[in-house]
């Protein structure tokens, strides 16, 4: 009997694995066309500075709307893009589009910063800083309005190359943030070696903030560690007023999450900016 159950379980897993492999294969084939067909788009999730109570910018998040399968999560298709080499093209497209939006927002009078996620493969391109520099020049935007998000695991793979790339980005005055902070391995002394600007506390810790003593302790430890290294700290995945209040009381600088805003289309993002702050036209006036 037990043997039979084991066998069924095995067959079940095998079928499930096959399904996954088939889907992955299908998505890999269709991603190339998706890029050409314009099925990819960007959404913008506003970030709030809790001290000054103002929007500081947004994280740029990629979306794939598949004509039959519907929306496919970047968590699923970014790894596929990396395996098929398409990430280079997609990554460049995201960077170009994000910089174009920064310029467009400035023309509207909103001096906001956009944060762009870099994949591991993109981060290992030795000419990444030059690629970004030429995009910034193309749209004539100040580099401080661009932030790149990388993860801890990208830093540990090849430390000296990571330092080299980050230092070149830093020289250009681009902001550097560590995404999903706390889920990888990085010690205090280790972080010191990289020219960083901000840590993003992973949302798995924010999920049960206040409720779970361990997650609360980890969050507080990350904030205090960031402060002692003179880094800004932002919490992601903030979904409730209680979480936001707790973070504000405990010296977190910025927050991002469904409580403040869901990721928005560009059109809605501009609306959001318009309703949260009076327009500053000084840029327009001097430009004319
Ligand atoms: P991430 O960079 O950590 O992005 C945050 C994710 O959390 C986003 O999921 C966002 O929609 C979601 N999120 C934001 N606020 C909340 C909240 O309050 N509650 C919950 N439950 N979730 C929240 P998304 O857009 O599905 O992106 C998933 C991951 O895909 C990203 O994680 C990032 O690693 C990757 N990704 C997204 N866009 C790009 C891109 O343009 N390039 C690269 N290389 N990776 C990207
Ligand atoms: Mg991110
Ligand atoms: Mg994250
Ligand atoms: Mg992530």
Q: What per-residue confidence (pLDDT) applies to 284?
A: 44
The tens digit of pLDDT for each residue in 136-157 reads: 999 999 999 999 999 998 998 8
At residue 105 the predicted structure's pLDDT band, cuts being 50, 70 and 90, is: very high
Q: What per-residue confidence (pLDDT) applies to 40?
A: 97
State pTM to two decimals: 0.91
User: Candidates 43, 117, 238: which one to mutate for ligand 1, based on the most atoms within 8 Å of Cβ?
Assistant: 117
75 pocket-lining for ligand 1 (C-beta < 6 Å): yes
Q: What per-residue confidence (pLDDT) applies to 12?
A: 67
The tens digit of pLDDT for each residue in 161-171 reads: 999 999 999 99
Joined tokens for residue 115: 């944060």
Q: What per-residue confidence (pLDDT) applies to 192?
A: 86
Nearest protein CA to atom 17 of ligand 1, as residue: 237
> Ligand 4 centroid to 115 CA: how many Å?
13
ipTM tops the 0.90 cut: yes
The tens digit of pLDDT for each residue in 29-71 reads: 999 999 889 999 999 999 999 999 999 999 999 999 999 999 9
Taking the CA of residue 238 as reference, the ligand 1 atom at the shortest distance is 18
User: Candidates 31, 74, 96: which one to mutate for ligand 1, based on the most atoms within 8 Å of Cβ?
Assistant: 74
Q: What per-residue confidence (pLDDT) applies to 10?
A: 66
Q: 126, 134, 74, 65: which is closest to 99 by C-alpha?
A: 134
The tens digit of pLDDT for each residue in 191-238 reads: 888 999 999 999 999 999 999 999 999 999 999 999 999 999 999 999
94 pocket-lining for ligand 1 (C-beta < 6 Å): yes
Q: What per-residue confidence (pLDDT) applies to 3?
A: 52
62 pocket-lining for ligand 1 (C-beta < 6 Å): yes
């Amino acid at each position: 009997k037990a043997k039979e159950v084991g066998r069924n379980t095995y067959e079940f897993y095998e079928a499930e694995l096959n399904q996954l492999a088939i889907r992955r294969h299908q998505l890999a084939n269709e991603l190339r066309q998706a890029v050409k067909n314009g099925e990819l788009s960007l959404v913008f999730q506003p970030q709030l500075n809790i001290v000054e109570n103002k929007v500081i910018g947004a994280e740029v998040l990629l979306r794939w709307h598949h004509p039959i399968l519907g929306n496919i999560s970047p968590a699923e298709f970014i790894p596929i893009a990396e395996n098929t080499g398409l990430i280079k093209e997609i990554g460049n497209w995201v960077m170009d589009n994000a910089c174009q939006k920064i310029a467009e927002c400035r023309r509207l009078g909103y001096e906001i910063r956009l944060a762009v996620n870099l994949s591991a493969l993109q981060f290992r391109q030795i000419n990444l800083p030059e690629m970004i520099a030429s995009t910034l020049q193309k749209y004539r935007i100040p580099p401080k309005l661009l932030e790149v998000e990388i993860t801890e695991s990208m830093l540990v793979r090849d430390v000296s190359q990571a330092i080299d790339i980050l230092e070149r980005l830093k020289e250009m005055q681009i902001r550097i943030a560590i995404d999903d902070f706390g889920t990888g391995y990085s010690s205090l002394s280790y972080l010191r070696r990289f020219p960083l600007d901000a840590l993003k506390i992973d949302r798995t810790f924010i999920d049960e903030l206040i409720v779970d003593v361990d997650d609360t302790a980890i969050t507080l430890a990350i904030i205090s560690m960031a402060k002692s290294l003179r880094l800004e700290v932002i919490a992601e995945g903030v979904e409730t007023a209680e979480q936001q209040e707790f973070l504000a009381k405990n010296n977190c600088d910025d927050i991002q999450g469904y409580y403040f805003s869901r990721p928005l289309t560009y059109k809605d993002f501009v609306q959001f900016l318009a309703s949260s702050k009076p327009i500053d036209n000084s840029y327009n006036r001097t430009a004319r």
